Amino acid sequence: MPLVELPSVSITGTGLFTPPESVSNAELVASLTESVLKWNAEHAEEIARGETAERAVPNEEFILKASGIERRYVMEKSGVLDPARMRPRLETRSEDQLGIQAEMSMPAIREALAQAGRKPSDVDAVIVGCSNLQRAYPAVAIEIQDALGADGWGYDMNVACSSATFSIQAAVDALRNGSANCVVVVNPEITSGHNNFEMRDFHFIFGDACTALVLERTADTTAPDQWEVLGTKLVTKFSNNIRNDFGFLNSSEVTDRDPQELVFRQNGQMVFREVCPMVAEHITNHLAQLDLTADDVRRFWLHQANLKMNQLIAKGVLGRLPTDDEAPVILDEFANTSSAGSVIAFHRHRNDLAPGDVGVLCSFGAGYSVGSVILRRR
Task: Work out the number of other CB atoms within 10 angstroms of the CB of residue 149.
Answer: 10
pLDDT of 94 over the 60 cut: yes
Of 278, 291, 298, 288, the residue nearest 358 (C-alpha):
298
pLDDT of 10: 98
Mean pLDDT of 107-135: 97
Residue 276: pLDDT band with limits 50, 70, 90: very high
In order, the DSSP letters of 27-65 are HHHHHHHHHHHHHHHHTHHHHHTTSSPPPPPP-HHHHHH
Query: Please, are residues 109 and 183 in contact by the beta-carbon 8 Å criterion?
Result: no
β-sheet with 9-17: strand ranges across: 153-157, 125-129, 182-189, 209-217, 9-17, 227-236, 369-377, 358-365, 297-302
Reported as a single tens digit per residue, the pLDDT across 297-317 is 999 999 999 999 999 999 999
Per residue in 1-27, pLDDT tens? 566 788 999 999 999 999 999 999 999
Q: Mean pLDDT, to the nearest integer, of 253-277?
A: 89
Q: How far apart are CA 280 and CA 142, in angstroms?
A: 36
Which pLDDT score, from 0 to 100, does residue 3 have? 64
Q: Is 100 left (phi over 0), alpha (psi -120 to 50) or beta?
A: alpha
Region 323-342 average pLDDT: 96
* Catalytic-labelled residue, pool 161, 182, 276, 362: 161
From residue 137, alpha-carbon distances to 140, 141, 156, 313 in Å are: 7, 10, 9, 37
Q: What percent of the chain has pLDDT over 90?
A: 92
Residue 330's pLDDT band, with cuts at 50, 70 and 90, is very high
Is a pLDDT exceeding 90 seen at residue 233? Answer: yes
State the virtual CA torsion across 269, 297, 337, 95 in degrees, nearest 10.
-140
Mean residue pLDDT of the chain comes to 95
Percent of the chain with pLDDT over 70: 99
CA gap 143, 214 in Å, rounded: 18
pLDDT of residue 208: 98
Instruction: Examine the residue annotation and report whether 276 is marked as an active-site residue of this protein.
Output: no
CB 190 within 8 A of CB 199: no
Say which CATH topology domain 227-377 has: Peroxisomal Thiolase; Chain A, domain 1 (3.40.47)
Banded pLDDT at 251 (limits 50, 70, 90): confident
* Mean pLDDT to the nearest integer, 60-81: 95
Q: How confident is residue 220, by pLDDT bands cut at 50, 70 and 90?
A: very high
pTM for this predicted structure: 0.95
Question: Looking at residue 35, what is its pLDDT?
Answer: 94
pLDDT band at 178 (very low <50, low <70, confident <90, very high): very high
Model confidence at 77, pLDDT cuts 50, 70, 90, reads very high
Q: Domain-by-domain residue ranges, the chain?
A: 227-377
